[in-house]
Structure 1
């Protein structure tokens, strides 16, 4: 990942007459503003435009407070940004470009009419895959898009407002399969990640689309795929996921959010905790190898009793990691829950673009969250090791999970699969460790947490997660052995090797003494 300074230098070296920045994540908007400021400071005089979810909702504020930005592309940008570029290049006034907000030559902010959404997604040109080689070298999944939008009305999500509450739009099956086949044949792509807001909806039409998609994938001869997609729990049906597993579905992200019925109502999920559990049960029965869930147990109105229900819910699922125990609703711009909290004066922000925070209605939940975040801080070193192991394991996977391996390579594959299972077990144990800490902390708060008790829990957390770090050493050693056997001994950026892990752990041990 480039630093803001490196990004600016690359732009200045290419000397473009227009710079477009995609800035959907509100969490990282400060880095975007930093890049813009550095560009102007270093003499860049071209047009700078910005787009994405956050800029769409805060377009006027951005142009008011960030003088280096000339325009904001609102909503879908494919058609708008091309038209904007043509107008800028020709030096024409921007008043007729639909879907933008801009600063005119008098310094006034002008909000042009919205641009209608693209009715037929298949009319858009295919993405320019100029960075695909870098992604394939790192054994990353290649992004695909089969649809836009979502039928649901979740209060924590901004998808509906971004698309003006339009129905979900879906590409034709033939076009999606054809694009995949081109990537399959031209670049050897096998791992695809569908970045749709929602890959399946509950309708019969959507079910028929999925079954047709699976049949056409098989007819195209793509019989060694590795697919990733995300869905809502209410959309999980056994027949659909059996068909998807047959064509290579390996990983699924399931947005569950909470195991507490009242929280689900406030989130407007239109689902029950029992339905969430049933969805995970079906996916396990079908045999989907990786089930990743999204959880936000901490929300403004949740009670301590509600948090206890979340703990029991995660135990029942048996599928979670540390982030699912610590997840919290974030007040992103464009969501109805954020608007509600703003109207109530509950969101505290340092500045207009800050994500902000809020107090929980139940102060005991606030105390719990404060302690959980301290535990999370103790867990960060071992979490970092998990990410580093995952990075290196992806490189190994790219070598040993190919068809047509010889006998020696097949042995490496078995070693890889055994190591992958042990790493997954460690990740699960890591999450359960946090779950136990949170459960015990809730009981302590209910009985009247004293400052000395709080310090004792902090020491207990620090000790537990330090022990977890120690358990990563043999896993790193096994990764290093496999890398050596496969000729992958070149040190990759951002990856720790065994000697470095031991040094780091020794340093941490001294800090605990």
Structure 2
């Protein structure tokens, strides 16, 4: 088939979602993929609904339409695919992102292909194979359906080594038309995203990063590439708000320091939000550079002040270290946006409230709270399948309780989430910040309060009543879970196609690529990057051709095929 025109689409969330209430901020992935495809000669346009309505005439005339899909954008993705197929039945539809990587079979009920994990190389190779008529089983990192009962999951692709491509934002429909005055009229602000590294050296049990980038992998981008991108974005928009979307900025500390020194030396004036870990408090030079380069606030995953919970999360930190780190970071005049996970097996209502009180007492400026969540993927989850709740993808936004906690009802955990946000994000605390001379913090707290007011209202209206209903009969009088009463497959939408739990564990050793533990070169490239590209058809045995379980493919080949 011939593929010349490609549409890449990021639908807007179907539920209220945090900063999207007031920020116009692009996903990193789609403009990057669009740029890679453009460099391969395709005509590409990238659509973000939060920027401008989709040009459906262009989409209907595209031979391939690809989506970056989160749980909270899944239903809108499915709606768009139905619309596209009705107008252009021959269009190839592809879904990628965290949700499709977790549950590819269920996505394939609606689309033609799923690209798992990173799409930088998998999507271009898939499109090339379709055009050339090559055997799709030779394309690593994709899933597709042969018929109504047989699915093919090709082996995972090794992680991308070169991450220096600078996204071309001219591909984004309507992006050049944005300006601060138009945004203010919409009650919005613009924020740029930049990625300086991928992956994380850690593998916290609750986190999706190991699923997307394989555990313990970490790659850095060349400093020249990052600096060029920052300058270009400032020059083209005059917007000086940035977010570094690294999973851990500072995971390779010396590289991060070199970048910060370069930002300072070149006099780049912008404000940046970055994701870090508390270990940075041991490095006063790094903290000083962050302050000098105007990185404020820092998003740090503390998760809990309960040591038992921290141990179960494999965070390699204690409450004592958290308190010490907050003190040291604050001494460097850096604000902290603390992240907390609530609902572990060691959590009670009392421990959750103690953590929230400790967060306020120790001076955390802003708070981000996430109920512990689980998705019925092939990887062993933080809770067994029977304790999972998946009523609708709308409720997979990170704000909804999606498990049966051990020591409280789901509705109780959801109410503690609401209580904590109301405690932290309210107009009174915003006013306190302004009175203390920090107008920026006051504005951020006010916007956060407005955003979470909408989120909480939606949860109380649409979700809490359903939790009250489904939790009946599964808890004793003290709200202790009676786990043996739960159905074996949990409370999951019956239409979802999920792999049986006994077939779910991957052999994690086969996902582990020792070459990608840390990339030490100044240009961000490993001296011996892992191989990539198409799998030789000779390497795909007859057993693999017939076997549809991704687990079997991994056990046979892992990430070693080249």
TM-score class, shorter-chain normalisation, is 0.5 to 0.7
CA distance in structure 2 between the aligned counterparts of 1:9 and 1:184, rounded to whole angstroms: 25
Q: Which residue of structure 1 aligns with residue 315 of structure 2?
A: 269
CA distance in structure 2 between the aligned counterparts of 1:61 and 1:81, rounded to whole angstroms: 19
Match of 1:174 among 224, 228, 248: 224
Match of 1:37 among 67, 72, 82: 82
The size of the alignment, in residue pairs, is: 387
CA distance in structure 2 between the aligned counterparts of 1:3 and 1:218, rounded to whole angstroms: 37
How do 1:287-436 and structure 2 match up within 5 A? 287-288=333-334, 290-319=335-364, 324=369, 327-332=370-375, 339-343=381-385, 345-350=386-391, 355=396, 357-363=402-408, 368-369=412-413, 371-372=415-416, 420=440, 423=443
SS at match of 2:390: coil
CA distance in structure 2 between the aligned counterparts of 1:429 and 1:354, rounded to whole angstroms: 20
- Structure 1 residues 293-350: Cα deviation after superposition (integer angstroms, max 9, x where no partner): 11123324313442343144223223255754xx4112145596x624225x222334
Structure number, greater radius of gyration: 1
Match of 2:241 among 191, 195, 205: 191
Q: Which residue of structure 1 aligns with residue 324 of structure 2?
A: 278
CA distance in structure 2 between the aligned counterparts of 1:165 and 1:418, rounded to whole angstroms: 39
Q: Which residue of structure 1 aligns with residue 214 of structure 2?
A: 164
2:188 matched to 1:121? no
CA distance in structure 2 between the aligned counterparts of 1:429 and 1:44, rounded to whole angstroms: 44
1:385/1:46 Cα in 2 relative to 1: closer, same or farther (>3 Å)?
Answer: farther
Q: Which residue of structure 2 aligns with residue 147 of structure 1?
A: 197
- Structure 1 residues 382-430: Cα deviation after superposition (integer angstroms, max 9, x where no partner): 97999xx99xxxxxxxxxxxxxxxxxxxxxxx99x77556556768999
Q: Which residue of structure 2 aligns with residue 254 of structure 1?
A: 300
CA distance in structure 2 between the aligned counterparts of 1:103 and 1:193, rounded to whole angstroms: 37
Match of 1:133 among 153, 173, 176: 176
1:99/1:214 Cα in 2 relative to 1: closer, same or farther (>3 Å)?
Answer: same
Q: Which is bigger in relative contact order (C-alpha 8 A, separation at least 6)?
A: 2
Larger helix share, 1 or 2: 1
CA distance in structure 2 between the aligned counterparts of 1:195 and 1:332, rounded to whole angstroms: 23
Match of 2:115 among 73, 76, 96: 73
- Structure 1 residues 156-214: Cα deviation after superposition (integer angstroms, max 9, x where no partner): 1021132222521111223322332333445545332110111112xxxx332222212
**Native 8 Å contact 1:300 1:358 kept in 2:** no
SS at match of 2:328: helix
CA distance in structure 1 between the aligned counterparts of 2:236 and 2:158, rounded to whole angstroms: 34
CA distance in structure 1 between the aligned counterparts of 2:319 and 2:378, rounded to whole angstroms: 23
Match of 2:73 among 15, 28, 31: 28
SS at match of 1:296: strand
TM-score w.r.t. the length of structure 1 is 0.65
1:370/1:107 Cα in 2 relative to 1: closer, same or farther (>3 Å)?
Answer: closer
Larger strand share, 1 or 2: 2
**Native 8 Å contact 1:253 1:291 kept in 2:** yes
Q: Report the Cα offset of residue 220 of structure 1.
A: 2.5
1:335/1:383 Cα in 2 relative to 1: closer, same or farther (>3 Å)?
Answer: farther
CA distance in structure 2 between the aligned counterparts of 1:105 and 1:90, rounded to whole angstroms: 22
Q: Report the Cα offset of residue 149 of structure 1.
A: 0.5
CA distance in structure 2 between the aligned counterparts of 1:376 and 1:217, rounded to whole angstroms: 37
CA RMSD of aligned residues (A): 4.0
Q: Which residue of structure 2 aligns with residue 455 of structure 1?
A: none
CA distance in structure 2 between the aligned counterparts of 1:319 and 1:298, rounded to whole angstroms: 21
CA distance in structure 2 between the aligned counterparts of 1:374 and 1:74, rounded to whole angstroms: 33
SS at match of 2:99: helix
Q: Which residue of structure 2 aligns with residue 232 of structure 1?
A: 277
CA distance in structure 2 between the aligned counterparts of 1:370 and 1:429, rounded to whole angstroms: 17
CA distance in structure 2 between the aligned counterparts of 1:384 and 1:134, rounded to whole angstroms: 33
**Native 8 Å contact 1:319 1:428 kept in 2:** no
Q: Which residue of structure 2 aligns with residue 10 of structure 1?
A: 55
CA distance in structure 2 between the aligned counterparts of 1:420 and 1:180, rounded to whole angstroms: 22
SS at match of 2:190: coil
